[in-house]
Structure 1
Amino acid sequence: MAATPRGTSPVPPDARPRLTVLSGPSGVGKSTVVAHMRKEHPEVWLSVSATTRRPRPGERHGVHYFFVTDEEMDKLIANGELLECAEFAGNRYGTPRAAVLERLEAGEPVLLEIDLQGARQVRESMPEAQLVFLAPPSWDELVRRLTGRGTEPPEVIERRLAAARIELAAEPEFDQTLVNTSVEDVARELLALTNVV
């Protein structure tokens, strides 16, 4: 049996929270739901992704993302240090494996907020993970949210809508579906699924 660090007791496997993966189309409100849930329940650990994109104003290394170079990302992938890795809008994103496993081992609920490509990779490497799909109340509402941001040119919105159609079609691959009609309600449902005790 593996040694347990002094002062801690091993968490029986059946009492451990499962890894919960939240995914869904762009604009559905994943970040908003997660932020609301963690404000009320900071004990749910949200994995911090590594990314090759440049930091946006206000983003901090190790808090919002681990900002890495292309060479560093290549090394993480080559060494099998990422649970999943995906490319989006010309940048690569990945979930560091060790931190996730350490938290789960310690009995902490872990949440990943990632795209469909990443969720599929997690399902392959950790079949016991729970995949939760966040769906919009309707297609029209998703279109309204994506176009209502007013931050992107029409061709980017078209690309996002095309991707959203593909992502919505993947819903049956997930263990649970939550419909984002109310941030508070969905955050509460998501919290219940993370096995917080």
Structure 2
Amino acid sequence: MALTYFKRFRMEIALDTLPEVPPLPSGFRFLAWNAEILKRHADVKFQSFRFEVDANVFPCLGDSEGCFRLMREISMRDGFIPAATWLIEHEDQATGNWRAVATVQGVRDREGNGSIQNLGVVPGFRGMGIGAILLLKALEGFKQQGMPRASLEVTSQNIGAIRLYERLGFRIASTVYKAVEMGAVQTTTQA
């Protein structure tokens, strides 16, 4: 089977000069990590990535059960950092019900630095600034754990995310290529 290579950037940031985490807009709130909300993280991850290029790069992101398995694996790692793992919820004004709309997970890498695993915002809630606030909240969690730096990887085609990360202070440290079997690549449509 033929392989397709996706170009990805490894981006890094020093945690010593982070800005304070700004407040969320009205009608949004943070929900700290606990094992009972694992499925909610997985559901938001699926809603955030299923129609994006990253579902081709990592096919599990395009599958609800795959997102659940991935979230479970992340949360069971030795280096899992609950203080860098958050949901953002939004309150439906008509019903008063809260719905999870953004997720981030963090782990400690082999060098003892923070590593963002996935940052996802559900379509319909993008462009409101909650992704930037959520990322800063995760970075604050790494800093509280005494980590000097943090990193993440982003697919080079995800220009909006790259701009966000650069605006917050991340810099491209290296370029990596992710090989994916062509049979695993699915055609996606932007939502």
TM value normalised by structure 1: 0.33
Counting helix residues as a fraction of each chain, which structure ranks higher?
1
| Higher RCO structure, 1 or 2 (CA under 8 Å, sep 6+) | 2
Counting strand residues as a fraction of each chain, which structure ranks higher?
2
TM value normalised by structure 2: 0.34
